[in-house]
Chains A and B, each alone.
Chain A
Amino acid sequence: MFDWLSPLVFVQTLARVAVVWLAFYGAGKVLRKPLRIDAVFPLLPSELLGLLAFVILAVPLSLLGIMNRTVCPMILVLMAIPGTLFTYGALRDRFPLPKPKLLTIVFGAFMLFVLLLNFTNAFMPNLAFDDPLVTYAVQPDRWLNAGRVFWLEETTFSGFPLLYEMTAVWPAAISSDRINQLSVLQVFQMSMLVLAVFRGVSLMRVGRKLRLPAAVIVFLTTSIYTWCSMAKTDTMALLFGTMALAAAVRQRENDFQGSPLSSWLFMGLTLATKQTAVLILAPFLLYSWGAFLRYSLKWKLLALLALATAPGAFAVRTMLKTGSPTYPFYPVTSMVREGWELNRPPENTIVNTRSSYLYEHKNFPMAKHVGIFFAYMEGNVLLLIAGIATALILKRWGDLYLVLPVLAYSALAIIAFWPPWWGAKYSIPLYPFIALLGAKLLSRSRAGVWIAAFLVIPSFIIPGFIAVAGDPKPFSYRTTVAESVLRGGWKSESGYGMWLSTPEGMTHMWANTALPPETVILSLHEEKRYFFDGTVIVGWRHPIAQRLYQENSLEEELEILKYLRVDYVGIHRENPAVLDQERSLQILDHIGTGELLEPVMIVDGGYLLCRFNPE
């Protein structure tokens, strides 16, 4: 029995995330009128207005040094009260509901079941996957510890746009410990997916009967199930990306009245969330460009302002610190300040470049690459194909034009995130939009609802029981997770393993208890840092530490370690660095008792922590 794996904690975690959304919604409703949001951003829902208000609120709280785990929950709970009242009012206005049809009941029940599978998966804290434990969950955690937003010096990822991290401060603030914090953040991700789908269908005015089948198809998608359960930026990019494209499509429609700024704001928020989401600009501009040219100069400027403000704020912050607004990926080299120049060791580049010789065995023919890219989309692309077929049969050429930006995006994404067996996941933010667009086109036909209903079957059967293009999460796995959460213990007889931590993660958990909090660990290869309160510098990522991997004398290496105030060095015992990188690390000749690197602790899996003895 685990104290974090129980139906009670699951419900508690759902309730905590609900409090966050109620607070966002409450704040949005309160601010809507005084800020004249309906006039400026008419398609901005109140909960997202509230989300932005809370992100902005983090700034003065940070300046006052009270952005902590006491003040933030109090604000959330206080704002959840009006949120609850507004929600009650909104629900009351909808009653009495029309008598549901049989198909609605069937799909409604099935969707709730699928959502249970997805939310239980999101509830299981993922202790193995790197990204959240490297930066995305780390930043809000460290900020809350410090009571303020600050530049986390140990990671270059502090240069990223941090809209998600500033939002995640709020759900993170109402978690009970580090493990639960991951659960809360993960469930928060899944809740953003649900919001994206239901706000998306509404914005795009997908036929009512098709909404539930389309939603079910999105929620069933394997990669959505996997990636929207992680405490990282993907789902927020998915939320704002879906909203941006859905709003752009909506604004193209003839009867749209009012300010066109909503879609531009959503696109800006997408860019302020995730750098790789820049590719969504392509379909967005294809949808918006024609209308944009017809705007007055004032609206053109306002649209560009709405687009640029949020990412611009983060870019300026990054530029002030490092010199380049796009640091650390694709920095403007001539602008990078001294001390921030990046010289990634070539071995790490080879390992991280999936088109390098190390991955020759996955050098598939082009047709297979393209197939993999679209196969990742599972039911979403089936809906789109059905929508295209409907447009062709009905000869609705305007509808076909709506598909072209998606195809343009796909071509760009295949090239930019080459090869697709690795890079297809970067396109997940577009999946709900693709499904909703397909459903929108299908809703032109009377048979659309039946076609969508039929497509739910392969969307469930194929990834659930047969095969997927990426990492499989069959139905048996999903039910195992749900059953384990609901009965409060991992169902080991299922044959599936529970997410366990990795050796370096375990080392950090150990070090967090065994070593003083001011300890600095240099990790030669592994990147995680979430579970250690001290500092973890990842050698090959950090601009100063990267110099270690160049041709140096031992004395120069020692100087670098001393400059970084390193106390411990973390390595894999048998193979301390990637490929033949050890060749340039002279200090590795000095591992031993009384030596420069003195072994202290080794965990299962062979990860070793060595004390650095410079004298």
Chain B
Amino acid sequence: MVLILSLSLLGSVPLNPLLLLPDSVEVTVINRIDGATIESLHFLLPESTTIEEAFIDHPIPVGDSAHVTLPFRYISRVVIGTDRMGNYRRALIAFNPQGDTLSFSRADKEFGGFFDVILGSELYFIRNVTTVPITAVYLRADTLAERNILGSNPLLTNESIFLWMDADSAWVRAVDIEGNSSATLPIQKSREYGANSFRISDFVEPAEPVRAGEIRVISGLNGGEITGIEVYPVVDEPFYLNLEQDPLMLWDQLTIRCPGEVEYLICYDSMNRSFSIDTTDPETDAFIVDWWHLDFDFSFPDRRR
């Protein structure tokens, strides 16, 4: 206690409670990202849906550093923009009130899961809930000409874009891994995960609702073609549809007459891999064939079919 009081008198430790929590803190940002210059730094405070920019007085080349002033608060996320594609981020940061250092390297890259796209400050949350990777997302807004906001790293299933921009209205359109374009989606400001989502229905041709005595199958399988479907009704005998002459390609759909309830389907692709599906997609009422329904083969190699 005596030591602390002594140090306090010397000014080393501020004991005045009003000085314990400064409004802002000076942070040294160090660039250790190979071949990239840091051009911007944005930060997000807890519970906020607005991202803010911290002023960097000069671009930071590799190995160099710069000072930025950030609010002295717990920070949810710091996002670094560089002169190369792709952002770098650091999450859940509590700075030292005496000043701190943030060093960015490849380890901080946004490798996936979600990507920040910073064109403004308000959050638009976009999610891929289709079964295939999305390779481009075209954004059009009142103040922006159409542009692809995704880099070469695709938006995989259940991954998201945190799009930050200032616009009253905007539209997005996705392109999947096989080059199919989705319907245009008007988007709204949101932090809700499902609010702005690319769905299977955005990629398939609109069709009549599934009627009684019918089932519908949609191929959500990229890089594969469905060449046969085995239908297992609850009551009747199973039957097989041979599609070798006209296989189902990605987003193709097929309506099959089937009186009575269907328990499950087994679909086969051209490499004789099977996909068992026992539930329908609530949005399209269709059985969706995708890579997640691939039937795993646990047999030993010499007993493979």
Q: Which residues of A contact B (CB under 8 A)?
A: 68-69, 144-145, 177-179, 509-510, 512-514, 517, 531, 533, 571, 573-577, 579-583, 585-586, 588-589, 591-595, 599, 601-603, 606, 608
Contact = CB atoms under 8 A, between A and B. Distances in A.
What are the 7 closest A-B residue pairs judged by CB atoms, nearest first?
A592-B152, A574-B113, A580-B107, A573-B112, A582-B107, A178-B298, A509-B296
A588 B106 contact: yes
Nearest to B155: A599
Contacts of A602: 156-157
Contacts of B106: 582-583, 585-586, 588-589
B153 interface: yes
B154 A593 contact: yes
A69 B154 contact: no
B259 to A, nearest CB: 27
Contacts of B68: none
A513 B105 CA distance: 37
B84 to A, nearest CB: 8
Given A582-B106, A601-B291, A69 B112 contact: no
B300 A594 contact: no
Interface string B140-167: 0000000000011110110000000000
Interface of B: 32, 34, 105-107, 109, 111-113, 133, 135, 151-154, 156-157, 177, 273, 291-292, 294-303
A420 B15 CA distance: 42
26 contacts: A145-B301, A177-B298, A509-B296, A512-B296, A513-B294, A513-B295, A517-B301, A531-B296, A573-B156, A574-B112, A574-B113, A576-B111, A581-B107, A582-B107, A583-B107, A586-B106, A589-B109, A591-B112, A592-B152, A593-B135, A595-B152, A595-B153, A602-B157, A603-B292, A606-B113, A608-B156
Nearest to A142: B301
Given A513-B295, A580-B107, A599-B133, A608 B301 contact: no
A592 B291 contact: no
A513 B135 contact: no
A593 B291 contact: no
Given A177-B299, A594-B152, A595-B153, 8 more contacts: A144-B300, A178-B300, A510-B294, A513-B294, A533-B301, A580-B107, A589-B34, A599-B156
A145 B302 contact: yes
Contacts of B292: 603
Q: Which of B177, B291, B300, B301 has the most CB of A within 10 A?
A: B300
Nearest to B36: A589
Contacts of B291: 510, 514, 601
Given A69-B302, A513-B273, A583 B105 contact: yes
Contacts of A582: 105-107, 109, 111
A574 B291 CA distance: 21
Nearest to A574: B113
B154 A592 contact: yes
Nearest to B297: A513
B296 A608 contact: no
A512 B298 CA distance: 9
A68 B152 contact: no
Contacts of A533: 301
Contact of B105 (A510, A580, A603): A580
Given A575-B111, A581-B107, A588-B111, A510 B154 contact: no
B133 A593 contact: yes
B162 to A, nearest CB: 14
A602 B290 CA distance: 12
Nearest to B151: A592
A227 B32 CA distance: 44
B152 A593 contact: yes
A7 B105 CA distance: 54
A582 B33 CA distance: 11
A575 B113 CA distance: 9
Nearest to B271: A514
Contacts of B133: 593, 599
Contacts of A603: 292
B157 A592 contact: no
A608 B112 contact: yes
A220 B233 CA distance: 48
Contact of A178 (B34, B112, B154, B299): B299
Contacts of A593: 133, 135, 152-154, 177
A113 B135 CA distance: 57
A594 B177 CA distance: 10
Contacts of B157: 602
B111 A574 contact: yes
Nearest to B85: A592
Contacts of B34: 586, 589
A86 to B, nearest CB: 31
